[in-house]
């Protein structure tokens, strides 16, 4: 885990991209897919509009691995810890 105050806790890397549940989330839409947006906990919030429902973040293996707690990273963006 990386925690240096202003540094994202979740690394934006290929390993985490493969684990990311965003593409299977009910919130994930064509706009996000077309813009190759995912791994919002590491990359930041979505640039697309979306309907906020059925978030899968709390079940994501990345949340467990990096001990982050939250939902709708597509809305709030990067987790930088407390």
Please tell me the number of Cα atoms within 13 Å of 80 on its side-chain side: 9
Domain extent listing, the chain: 18-76
Q: Which two tokens stand for residue 65?
A: 């691995």
Average pLDDT over the chain, rounded to whole?
89
Say whether pLDDT at 80 is over 80.
no
Q: Are 9 and 1 in contact (CB under 8 A)?
A: yes
Across the range 41-46, mean pLDDT stands at: 94
Percent of the residues in the chain that have a pLDDT greater than 90, as a whole number: 77
Model confidence over 3-18: pLDDT tens digits? 445 566 899 999 999 9
């Amino acid at each position: 885990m990386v925690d240096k105050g202003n540094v994202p806790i979740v690394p934006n890397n290929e390993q985490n991209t493969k684990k990311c549940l965003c593409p299977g989330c009910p919130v994930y839409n064509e706009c996000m897919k077309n813009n190759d947006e995912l791994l919002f906990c590491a990359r930041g919030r979505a640039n697309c509009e979306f309907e906020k429902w059925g978030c899968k973040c709390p079940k994501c293996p990345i949340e467990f691995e990096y001990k982050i707690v939250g939902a709708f990273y597509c809305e709030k963006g990067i987790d930088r810890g407390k």
